[in-house]
Amino acid sequence: MNTDLFFMGGGIVLLILATLGGGIEVKEIKVPQLTNLSRISAALVGIGLIVVGVYFRLHPTPVTNSTPTATPPINNISAPAPGAIVFSITDRLAPHQLMEKLEVFLNGKSSGTLEITKDKPIGAFDITVPSAGQYQYRITGSQQVLSMNNEVETRQLTGSGSIVVDKGSSFIVHLKKNAATSYYDILLMTPEEERAEQAAKKATASP
């Protein structure tokens, strides 16, 4: 049933009761005799219901389309901005290492973490920078190594420097022993720089 007909019908019934004063019996429904106050109340409520019904008749509720609107898929992977450069950082576990976890900061802002273990001895991740150029980096982290006494040692690692980033650049995490402190500093090297470092070590070790 429409809303307007419901209110108008109820209002008309109440007006009839108010006019006749009750005492109506239809089959199993019996309305007792109404007092004057009850008749006035019924008349007022009936008029109110009729007014509401007329309002709904003159101002019908618009029918909305229940068909769901297709929502375009959300792409969570944002493409690099024009001019942005994506480069990679790779870390490899040395034979005596058990675990290494690092966090890389670029120009003072955290750019990602990297964790490698015996089960996953090589790890890498990409960093996006707004443009090519020189960037300052800082690396902090820790590693677990197996000592010569077969004991697990935990070392705190840190290092900083600068890198020149260009299209297709890649860098390798390199540990270099600090002669002054006997600890290892973390450096970022290009593959070419790391090969040159290894060649220099072999040349120094040769008799």
Q: Which of 44-48, 53-57, 83-87, 194-198 has the highest mean pLDDT?
A: 83-87
For 85-205, give the CATH class: mainly beta
pLDDT by residue (tens digit) across 57-91? 777 666 555 555 655 555 554 566 778 999 999 99
Among the listed residues 122, 163, 114, the one whose alpha carbon sits nearest the alpha carbon of residue 141: 114
Which pLDDT value is given to residue 119?
93
Among the listed residues 169, 188, 187, 174, the one whose alpha carbon sits nearest the alpha carbon of residue 88: 169
So where are the chain's domains? Answer: 3-58, 85-205
Strand partners, 173: 188
Task: Tell me if 134 sits within 8 A of 162, measured CB to CB.
Answer: yes
pLDDT by residue (tens digit) across 164-186? 999 989 999 988 777 776 677 88
Pairing relationship of beta strands 170-177 and 85-92 according to DSSP bridges: parallel
DSSP 179: T
Residue 203 has pLDDT above 70, yes or no: yes
